[in-house]
Structure 1
Amino acid sequence: MLSPSSNSIKKAFRRVALVGKYQADGMQERLNDLAKLLSEQGCEVFIEAATASHLGLTARPIKTIEQFTGAIDLAVVLGGDGTILGIGRQLAGSGVPLVGINMGRLGYMTDIPIQQVQTILPQIIAGDYEADTRTLLDAVVLRKQQEINRALALNDVVVNRSGISGMVELAVRVNGSFMYNQRSDGLIVSTPTGSTAYALSAGGPILHPRVAGLLLVPIAPHALSNRPIVLPEDIVVNIEVVEGKEVIVNFDMQSQTHLQAGDIIQVCQSDKTITLLHPCGHSDYKTLREKLHWNEYPSTF
């Protein structure tokens, strides 16, 4: 979930929507504090409809995510990376950038600590920020050549078995060319953003988002010769379920479809993107050191 810098023209933001992980303790108070802070910066503040409904926030105007396009300049998301994933998929292609504020552990995408929001957020609102564009995956599930589901994924599309079933056998084709049959616990198709998520846990490499491509990572393969591979960005991956019980395909681990033998999951890079904003001076490598517990460099550097 690394973030490259963007050379796009920077702008200040006036119409700002707040989105919150409404299950979190103290969310109502924190959102009210954020709304007050943004109002003091001269912003017109809106509350995302589901957030407002669950928290009973009625003092500010409300907009559904579908109403953001053309009416909202910036979405401020208070929660964690999971919250960003869900909102990011819904806003993909809208042109509305996102800022992530975390309430606890440092996230890869929600990189503004709540303790520093009073200082950092006004700077971003004024146009002092770094931006990066993230690609998504477009996945289609086919059964007997009929589409039964379609979904976007910002991190990954994962075909895997249930916890109590045996291995699954998958046939993988790239642009129609047969790659391999694989017996394993599953297969991950990841964006560069998702390379620091499940794909990393399964032994995949970390990809910088400027490395244009898709990452395929087997999950506990039966043959050790089945290794992660980075594929070009303009390919189409077809994953056919040859054999397996209780096989599931997950999209960012937030939605899923149950599969049958013969089903095909077709994955390609989406033409939709999202834009994340970070504080100036944001360092991807500092985030990796803190998240992955890499040794800090000497203070003499």
Structure 2
Amino acid sequence: MTEAHGSREILVLAHTGRHDAVDAAAAVAERLHQAGLTPVMLERDIASLGHVVGDRLRDVPIAVADTDVPLSRCEVGMVLGGDGSILRAAELVRGADLPLMGINLGHVGFLAESERTELDASVQWVVEQDYTVERRMAIDVQVWQSGDHIGSTWALNEASVEKHARERMVDLVVEVDGRPISAFGCDGVVMATPTGSTAYAFSAGGPVVWPEVEALVMVPISAHALFARPLVVAPDSVLAVEVLQREEEQGVLWCDGRRATELPAGSRVEVTRSAEPVLLARVKQTPFSERLVDKFNLPTSGWRGPVDAANTVQGPDHPTDHPMGGEMTTGARHLEEGPTS
């Protein structure tokens, strides 16, 4: 542990409950130090590292986050684990204006930039500052009870209002921009960002929203109603869910599956776009469609791809400005001209 001055400082966060993540964190710290950069870790993570790797990092000076080095001074945060680890990291660095680079050691890893096999490459990207920063929409969440504001929080993926008791549904009314949309008994309602559309909202039957699309999504969970469709609304809309006062039912608010708030009957949850996005460090300019296919192992056999524009018939009788080619345009012209007989 040391206080670093005049050097580049890199935050290293790992799921210290997993041996592979601890081993990867040790490797990253070693490589950063060899490259002349200062690894920065949480004090509890440094202790966990010592229990697992022993004296392996004896000659690697690791700065203690928020003691030796403030998080706001770190250049980037390298997160070793799955999407859950990245969500925890986003919570930790909230307000520090610090981009996160995820190295996936979990299963799907939608938020991660690389895999375990690319650990050395990931360190090199950081050393060479070979990455861009992507801004992901987050949401602010306000909780009200009997007209009193009782709490506020935020989420990167989603805020979900769910039933408290497993054996019964919860009665909710959903609202968009100050107008009620529908009321129903259900297991809950998910209010998600585009980033969260491939998480809980996706599992509940919601649409997949491309990250660059600015929108909010509301998805009912197992609703007993004729109209309980997912809703996609403007990014500046206000989404709200109220727990109806029937039989003193209670709900619970979960944000990113990490932070829970009890919701007595009569509670109200409001969700709006946050002014503070989550920053992700990106290296690969992989289209989201390709990432979607890869992460969900979607079948694409039989795909032939776009037609080469050069492979079209050209000439005065075969105009090529119609999306279906000259033949379709010619046919359309004949229809417009009417019968020739």
Q: CA deviation at 1:40?
A: 2.3
Q: CA deviation at 1:128?
A: 2.0
Unaligned stretches of 5+ residues in structure 1: 1-12
Q: CA deviation at 1:300?
A: 7.0
Question: Is the contact made by 1:173 and 1:239 (CA closer than 8 Å) also made in structure 2?
Answer: yes
Aligned to 1:36: 30
Q: Deviations for 1:227-257, whole angstroms, at most 9, x for unmatched residues?
A: 0011111122221100463421100111111
Per the alignment, in what secondary structure is the counterpart of residue 46 of structure 1?
A: strand
Aligned to 2:101: 99
Q: What CA distance in whole angstroms lies between the structure 2 residues aligned with 1:101 and 1:53?
A: 21
Q: CA deviation at 1:299?
A: 8.9
Question: Is the contact made by 2:14 and 2:45 (CA closer than 8 Å) also made in structure 1?
Answer: yes
Question: Is the contact made by 2:38 and 2:62 (CA closer than 8 Å) also made in structure 1?
Answer: no
Question: Is the contact made by 2:146 and 2:267 (CA closer than 8 Å) also made in structure 1?
Answer: yes
Name which of structure 1's ranges 50-59 and 200-209 shifts more when overlaid on structure 2: 50-59
Per the alignment, in what secondary structure is the counterpart of residue 276 of structure 2?
A: strand
Aligned to 1:127: 129
Aligned to 1:3: none
Alignment of 1:251-290 (within 5 A): 251-290=255-294
1:136 counterpart letter in structure 2: A
Q: Please give the root-mean-square deviation of Cα atoms over the aligned residues, in Å.
A: 2.3
2:259 counterpart letter in structure 1: S
- Aligned-residue identity in percent: 28
Go from structure 1 to structure 2 and tell me whether the alpha carbon gap of 1:272 and 1:50 turns closer, same or farther (over 3 Å shift): farther
TM-score by length of 2: 0.78
1:187 counterpart letter in structure 2: V
Aligned to 2:39: 45
Unaligned stretches of 5+ residues in structure 2: 1-6, 52-57, 306-341
1:37 counterpart letter in structure 2: R
Q: What CA distance in whole angstroms lies between the structure 1 residues aligned with 2:181 and 2:26?
A: 53
| 2:21 matches 1:17 | no
Q: CA deviation at 1:191?
A: 0.4
Aligned to 2:4: none
Per the alignment, in what secondary structure is the counterpart of residue 108 of structure 1?
A: coil
Q: CA deviation at 1:41?
A: 2.4
Name which of structure 1's ranges 137-146 and 72-81 shifts more when overlaid on structure 2: 137-146
Aligned to 2:79: 77
| 2:37 matches 1:68 | no
Per the alignment, in what secondary structure is the counterpart of residue 12 of structure 2?
A: strand
Go from structure 1 to structure 2 and tell me whether the alpha carbon gap of 1:299 and 1:173 turns closer, same or farther (over 3 Å shift): closer
TM-score by length of 1: 0.87
The number of equivalent residue pairs is: 288
Q: CA deviation at 1:53?
A: 4.1
Go from structure 1 to structure 2 and tell me whether the alpha carbon gap of 1:143 and 1:278 turns closer, same or farther (over 3 Å shift): same
Q: CA deviation at 1:121?
A: 2.7
2:267 counterpart letter in structure 1: D
Per the alignment, in what secondary structure is the counterpart of residue 222 of structure 1?
A: coil
| Correspondence for 1:237 among 231, 236, 239 | 239
Go from structure 1 to structure 2 and tell me whether the alpha carbon gap of 1:158 and 1:299 turns closer, same or farther (over 3 Å shift): closer
| 2:182 matches 1:180 | yes
Q: What CA distance in whole angstroms lies between the structure 1 residues aligned with 2:300 and 2:18?
A: 32
1:38 counterpart letter in structure 2: L
- CA radius of gyration, larger in: 2
Q: What CA distance in whole angstroms lies between the structure 1 residues aligned with 2:36 and 2:304?
A: 43
